[in-house]
């Protein structure tokens, strides 16, 4: 059977149509539900942005308190989920989240309901509970008891409260909320595609999102914002940056925080998070010297990368400033991928809804390149 040209990694293959997000790597543009990422991140809360993706329009101002109250009502975890998190207290946060995610439908009478109403109800639970899972794990691995969620705080503020045991500074809650909106969706990335493939079998939303978490865990997708901090700590000062960067490149190592599979210009999410990191530095909640060093390293890295890898267009990606923003609110590098999942779950759920509505099994072909005509030897 003749097979069309193989596209490794499905590069350039258009698998579906979506109203959720659009990535233009040449122009450095990211559209979320019709809004440029720089327009919606920092202006709409995560709860508003997720609701917009789930129902197709940004909620009116008067609707927002009710939406936040409803989502807050889903934050608490069942005892079975907490037991799994306790068992996984020494596992990486993203692994604990994957294990716990599979249990988040235990309080639903029909977890296999993939109707629009069933999917929406499950999306609300997942988006509300992901931060609770990560916060509970953060406490347990320190030998502390998890803190119950509060319904009077927004999702980001409540997460920081559950991790640290005190209400966060408004700037810290705003920074985390902006981060979650910035990463809420990003075209047909690996984890989103995984969720859609699972959903295309008419499987349930929790199964699809659990698979998406597994895909995100891989370092080629979940990224490496933690090593960005390691790089900045190792460089120490602006005058050491150029020599350090050249040494890494000459050794064949990657400079973390630069280059992207899609973007050939600066990642628009890096632009949003750079402003957020600057605001945190200005609020004295962030290491100002680290922020200033990061800006200097970024400038030097872009020049050195162009000199050593001309034409590769290795520009600043979302990981670079993610590291600064998440570090600034007190989180540890090994928590960063799980924090990414807490934002991306809003988009995953929206894609599952869209795939269920399309109701088309995703079934690509493959080209066989193995041997033929083999015979089993006599024994």
pLDDT in tens, 319-347: 999 999 999 999 999 999 999 999 999 99
Query: What span, in angstroms and rounded, lies between the C-alpha atoms of 32 and 181?
Result: 9
Q: CB neighbours (10 Å) of residue 83?
A: 13
Question: How long, in residues, is the chain?
Answer: 379
**Catalytic residue status for 319:** yes
pLDDT bucket at 9, cuts 50 / 70 / 90: confident
Which one, of 276, 286, 218, 231, lies nearest residue 258 by Cα? Answer: 231
pLDDT (0 to 100) of residue 224: 65
pLDDT bucket at 281, cuts 50 / 70 / 90: confident
Q: Are the CB atoms for 354 and 19 separated by under 8 Å? A: yes
**What's the predicted TM-score (pTM) here?**
0.94
pLDDT (0 to 100) of residue 346: 98
The residues with which 35 forms a beta bridge, in sequence order, are: 32
pLDDT in tens, 165-178: 999 999 999 999 99
From the list 260, 286, 351, 356, the catalytic residue is 260
From the list 47, 319, 351, 354, the catalytic residue is 319
148 pLDDT higher than 80: yes
**Catalytic residue status for 248:** no
Percentage of the residues of the chain whose pLDDT score is greater than 90: 83
Torsion angle of alpha carbons 64, 40, 152, 283, nearest 10°? Answer: -150
Chain centre distance of CA 174: 17
pLDDT bucket at 2, cuts 50 / 70 / 90: low
List of domains in the chain: 45-222+334-358 (1.10.580.10), 225-328 (1.10.230.10)
Mean of per-residue pLDDT scores for the chain? 94
Q: Most distant CA pair in the chain: distance in Å?
A: 78
């Amino acid at each position: 059977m003749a097979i069309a040209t193989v596209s490794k990694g499905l590069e350039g293959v258009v698998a579906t149509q979506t109203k959720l997000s659009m990535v233009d790597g040449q122009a450095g543009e990211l559209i979320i539900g019709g809004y440029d990422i720089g327009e919606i991140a920092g202006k709409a809360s995560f709860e508003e942005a997720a609701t917009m993706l789930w129902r197709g329009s940004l909620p009116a101002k008067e609707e927002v308190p009710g939406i936040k109250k409803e989502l807050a009502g889903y934050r608490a975890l069942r005892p079975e989920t907490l037991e799994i998190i306790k068992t996984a207290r020494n596992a990486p946060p993203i692994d604990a989240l994957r294990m716990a995610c599979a249990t988040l439908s235990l309080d639903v009478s029909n977890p296999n309901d993939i109707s629009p109403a069933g999917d929406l109800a499950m999306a609300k639970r997942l988006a509300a509970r992901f931060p609770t899972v990560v916060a509970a794990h953060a406490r347990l691995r320190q030998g502390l008891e998890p803190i119950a969620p509060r319904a009077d705080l927004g999702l980001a503020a409540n997460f920081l409260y559950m991790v640290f045991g005190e209400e966060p500074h408004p700037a810290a809650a705003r920074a985390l909320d902006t981060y979650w909106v910035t990463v809420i969706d990003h075209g047909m990335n690996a984890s989103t595609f995984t969720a859609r493939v699972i959903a295309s079998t008419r499987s349930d939303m929790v199964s699809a999102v659990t698979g998406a978490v597994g895909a995100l865990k891989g370092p080629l997708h979940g990224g490496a914002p933690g090593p960005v901090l390691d790089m900045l700590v190792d460089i120490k000062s602006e005058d050491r940056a150029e020599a350090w960067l050249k040494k890494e490149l000459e050794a064949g190592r990657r400079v973390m925080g630069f280059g992207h599979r899609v973007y050939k210009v600066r990642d628009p999410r890096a632009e949003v998070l750079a402003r957020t990191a600057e605001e945190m530095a200005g609020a004295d909640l962030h290491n100002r010297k680290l922020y200033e060093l990061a800006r200097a390293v970024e400038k030097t890295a872009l020049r050195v990368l162009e000199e050593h890898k001309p034409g590769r267009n290795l520009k600043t990606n979302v990981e670079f400033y993610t590291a600064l923003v998440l570090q600034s609110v007190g989180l540890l590098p090994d928590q960063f991928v799980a924090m990414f999942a807490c934002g991306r779950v809003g988009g995953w759920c929206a894609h599952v809804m869209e795939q269920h509505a399309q109701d088309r099994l995703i079934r690509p072909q493959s080209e066989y390149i193995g041997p033929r005509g083999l015979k089993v030897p006599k024994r």
